[in-house]
Structures are given as structure tokens and as C-alpha cells.
Amino acid sequence: MSQEETGAEDRIDEESARKALSEQQLVRREKLAKLQAEGRDPFAIVTWKQTHHSTEIKQGFEGLENKDVSIAGRLMSFRDIGKAAFIDVQDRDGRVQVYLNAEGIGEENYAHVKTWDLGDIIGVEGYVFKTKRGEISVHAKRMVLLTKAIEPLPEKYHGLKDPEQRYRRRYLDLVMNPQVMETFKKRTQIIRAVREYLDTRSYIEVETPILGTIASGAAARPFVTKSNALNLQLYLRIATELYLKRCIVGGMERVYEMGKDFRNEGIDIRHNPEFTMIELYQAYADYNDMMELCENLCSFVAQKVCGSTKVSYQGTEIEFAAPWKRITMVDSVKLYGGPDFSLIKNDEEARELAKKHGLEEELKKKLKDCSKGDILNAAFEKYAEKELIQPTFIMDYPADISPLTKQKPGDPSMTERFECFVYGRELGNAYSELNDPIVQNDRFMQQAKERELGDDEAYMFDEDFVSSLEIGMPPTGGMGIGIDRLIMFLTDSYSIRDIILFPTMKPNNQ
């Protein structure tokens, strides 16, 4: 018995005592120890020349027949028929079958390959051919074990089903469920298409701080963290808005940032505490320009990634082609059976209306603290929101729930703001940006009051941002789009956890 072998077996004994290894775990560890003792440690291998992927071989069969290829991937299936065997090798793109026998790879190596396990990472060199049953395959000439998997894979037919394990151990989900790999490839394509659309229209992509002493730009509770070096409490950003507008003040004219925002709120099928958002700002534009940009951007991305502007989401056809329906918030409430807010003159009348229509449940604050705007918003959520299945712009939001938005000319209680809804869910939010520093200062003051009254989601006062407006921000249109939500629609994903590789999970104390 060599030194190495002693060491390896001792290690297994120790591990076994610590963790109570299953039979299968022990078998694989022993196989590894034996390989290492024989001087063929798979973990000592550093490279493999991969000339082709599985789909290239299958799609390019005519040009590749009888030609040599070198592939690599995970051993997913082993059909041993005695003096020959068929195995499936899975790479980034999918699987390709490999045929092997003793004549092809040599007697000794053939016996060695038979000791490999499902899940091992292997390299295969051979020529491309078609089996009698017509499956395009690689006839192996050389096979190398590149990495040993010392844990067994989930079941080959049913795969990994347990949602908890799929989210916690996404690597297994990716190995076992091809649809998951497709979804995440599509996620990348969507993000790339969004960038392409904006980059070709002279937008500058920037990066703004995630850590800051003020978390503003949205109504949400932030995560709190701390800088040791500065001995300072910091927040993780909840929006990029106020920094991007500073870029507009600085003269960038068109900017965007796509990245993570963090909101310290509930988790459900539509919300993950960290999520990807794009915000973009365009000088000399207003919310009407943002509507056009939004519908054109979304239909461009859908066309590019899904091959059509029409996609199926959870059994419902969604048509992303421009133009989308446009309707004011007041009109939408009326249209879907709610009261007519155009007849309401003041907060008092609005409160009466709220009582009459049973809106108290929808309101976040006590009725007596609610403005007409709060009540209109509640009525919208009750009557209209869930009806907005096809992409729809809801225009003109109450000023008191829109502290960063320009008022409507002629109606200071309303703002030039829209949100777009798809399948009853908010997808985006845009304004004609408020650029009057004095009004902005007043709006922040109002938010500060709300905060004092206990609303911990009221906007934090950002004095430096007001200072930037004092230097002068051109009239600007801005928009935010929830990238995760867009990806959900374009990949027909029910839950946001299905389009985030590693969704937030509680630790499972095992």
C-alpha cells in the first residue's frame, strides 16, 4: 500500500465518521481514492480541448460525418450492453450520445470507463457517425475522466423536483432540468437586447452607488449596513433615480443603469429582496416620449428574443407590439366600474366617496389622513389594476404620491406620470421629471413630514439632489422597468424565483 493510498483511505474514514456517508457516497470516494493511488487523479487535470458542442455536432452532421471531434461534459446516462456501451454527454447546449467499445478505446481503458459514475465530467475524442437507429453520435477513440462527482445526481427521468432544492442548489437544477438552462440563457439575451436597444440610441450606461447614507428615489424600506472604515451606517440603494438625474444635470443627456436594487420587504412570486431594475433618463423629453420608448423597447426585445411581439404568458396571449393602450388613471377607474373622480373637488369629498365604495381596506393610512390622491390610487388598485392584461399605460398620477414628478399643466393635483401594466402587474413607471428645485424641496419636506408621522417608506430627503437641480436639469423624461418582471413575461415564468439564479432563501440549519 502506497503512502497516497493510506492518506486517501484515512481521509474517507474520517469523513465517514463525521458525516455518516451513504453507501453511494462511499463507493464514489473509494473510486476516487483508487484513481489517485494509481496516479490518475481526475482533480489534477487542468485542461481539455473542446472542439465542438453537442448542438454543433447534431446540426452540422452532414459536414462532420466521419470527422474527428473533441467534446466535454457531464456523463448523464450509461447504457452498458456488454462489449459496447452508449453514454450521453451533456454540455452547455444539451446532450450528445457517445458509442464506445474495446476496439475503439482499448481493452484496458474500456474497463476503466465502465467504473465511471453518472455525474462525472468527461472528455471524449472520436468521429461523428449515425447509429443504426439514426442517432447522431460520437464513436469514441479516447476518453478521459476530467472530474469525479463524488455525490450522485438526482433521478435521471424525473429530475430534481423539490422546489426548495431547486432554488437552494440551482447547480443541480441546471444540470437536471434543461428548461431551466434555457430560461437563464434567455434572461441573458433579454438583458443584452435591452442594452442593444439603448446603446444604439446614444444612451450612456453608467454605474451609480449601491451604498449610500440616503436611500431615496422610491417608496420602500431599505436594507441597513455599516462601513467599518468610516464607522458609518449605510443603506443599500432602493432606486438609482436621484443619481441618474444628477448625470442629466451634468450634461449626459441620455443615461441608463441596469442593476440591482434592494428593498427590505416581503418575498412572494413577484418580489425578491434584490432585483434587477433598469432606469433611464432622456433630456428634452417628457412622459409621452417615455411611453413610445417603453412600448418600442419591449416589443424590440420580445421580437429579438422570442421571435414575435406576441408571447404566451401562463396561457394568456400578450401582445407587446406598439402602440399600447393609453388611459388616464381617473378614466380607468371609471371604465372598470369605479367612481368618477373627475367630479371630486377636494379631499373631503374623496373621503366620503371612499366610505361609499368600501375603499378603506385598500388604504394604507387612516381615512382621515388620506388625500384625494391616496383614495384615487386605492380605487385604481381595487377596480382597474387586475383588469389590465394587455400592455396598458395608466397616465396621470396624483401629485401627493409622486414626489419626483412634474405637475400637469393646469392641474397641480396631478402629475405627468404613467405606470405600465401587463397581466395586472406593474412593469414600469415613468415621469416627466420634476426639475424645479424649489418645488422639489417642498415635496421632500412633505415626505419628511410623512416620515415623522410614521411612514417609514416615505422618501428620504436628499439635499444634494436638490442642489443639483439648482444648477439646472433640462426638461427630462425618465423611466424604470422591472427587468425581472419583463423576463418573467418573456420566459413564461410563474415565479420570480424561476428567473433569478439564486433567489433569497432563509438558511436551513442542518
Partner RNA sequence: GGGCCGUUAGCUCAGCUGGUAGAGCAGCAGACUCUUAAUCUGCGGGUCGCAGGUUCGAUCCCUGCACGGCUCACCA
Residues from 150 through 169 that contact RNA (CB under 7 A): 151-165, 167
Binds RNA by CB under 7 A, chosen from 171, 284, 494, 502: 494
Q: Report the residue from 22, 213, 225, 308 that binds RNA according to the rule CB under 7 A.
A: 22
The single residue among 18, 132, 226, 356 that binds RNA, judged by CB under 7 A, is 132
User: Which residue's C-alpha cell is 442542518?
Assistant: 510
Cα–Cα distance, 507 to 460 (Å, whole number)? 32
Among 18, 49, 83, 366, binds RNA (CB under 7 A): 83
Q: Confirm or reject binding of residue 429 to RNA (CB under 7 A).
A: yes
Site for RNA in 200-219 (CB under 7 A): 218-219
Contact with RNA (CB under 7 A) among 137, 282, 328, 447: 137
String of DSSP letters for 141-157: EEEEEEE---S--SBTT
- The C-alpha atoms of residue 254 and residue 283 are separated, in whole angstroms, by 6
Query: Counting contacts by CB under 7 A, is residue 508 touching RNA?
Result: yes
Q: How many residues bind RNA (CB under 7 A)?
A: 74
Question: Does residue 461 touch RNA according to CB under 7 A?
Answer: no
Residue 315 to residue 321: CA distance in whole angstroms: 18
Q: Is there binding between residue 24 and RNA (CB under 7 A)?
A: yes
What does the block give as the cell for 229? 472604515
CB closer to RNA out of 305 and 395: 395
Among 112, 142, 185, 270, binds RNA (CB under 7 A): 270
**H/E element, 262:** strand 254-262
Can residue 451 be called a binding residue for RNA (CB under 7 A)? no
Q: Name residues contacting RNA, limited to 334-363 (CB under 7 A).
A: 361-362
With binding defined as CB under 7 A, does residue 23 bind RNA? yes
Alpha helix stretches (DSSP H) within 92-206: 102-105, 107-113, 163-168, 170-176, 178-199
Minimum distance from residue 377 beta carbon to RNA (Å)? 8
Site string for RNA, 168-197 (x = CB under 7 A): ------------------------------
Q: CA–CA separation, 251 vs 210, rounded Å?
A: 22
Task: Figure out which of the listed residues 82, 307, 358, 409 binds RNA, where binding follows CB under 7 A.
Answer: 82
Strands 94-101 and 392-398: unpaired
* Residue of 12, 45, 84, 501 interacting with RNA (CB under 7 A): 84
Helix/strand/coil for 456? coil
DSSP string, 208-233: --SEES---SSSSPPPEEEETTTTEE
What does the alpha-carbon distance between residue 87 and residue 71 come to, in Å, rounded to a whole number? Answer: 13
CA-to-CA dists, residue 80 to 98, 154, 171, 453, angstroms: 12, 20, 27, 73
Candidate residues 20, 46, 229, 230; the one interacting with RNA per rule CB under 7 A: 20
How far from the centroid of its chain's Cα atoms is residue 183's Cα?
10
Would you tell me how many other CB atoms lie within 10 Å of the CB of residue 291? 22
Q: Among residue numbers 102 through 131, which ones bind RNA (CB under 7 A)?
A: 102-103, 115, 117-118, 129, 131
All cell numbers assigned to 166: 431547486
CA angle 403, 408, 409 (to 5 degrees): 135
Q: Which residue, 158 or 226, has its beta carbon nearer to RNA? A: 158
Q: Interface with RNA includes 300 (CB under 7 A)?
A: no
Smaller CB distance to RNA: residue 115 or 308? 115
Query: Per rule CB under 7 A, is residue 505 in the interface with RNA?
Result: yes
Q: How far apart are CA 140 and CA 128, in angstroms?
A: 9
The answer to whether residue 86 forms part of the interface with RNA (CB under 7 A) is yes
Smallest distance from the beta carbon of 400 to RNA, in angstroms? Answer: 8
Q: How far is the CB of 484 from RNA (least distance, A)?
A: 12
SS (H, E, C) 354-371: HHHCCCHHHCCCCHHHCC
Residue 133 binds RNA, judged by CB under 7 A? yes
Kind and range of the H or E run holding 447: helix 437-452
Q: Cell for 124?
A: 471524449
Nearer to RNA, 271 or 304 (CB): 271
Applying CB under 7 A, among 282, 332, 402, 447 the residue interacting with RNA is: 402
Least distance from C-beta 308 to RNA, angstroms?
Answer: 27
Q: Does the footprint of RNA cover residue 61 (CB under 7 A)?
A: no
CA distance 314 to 319: 14
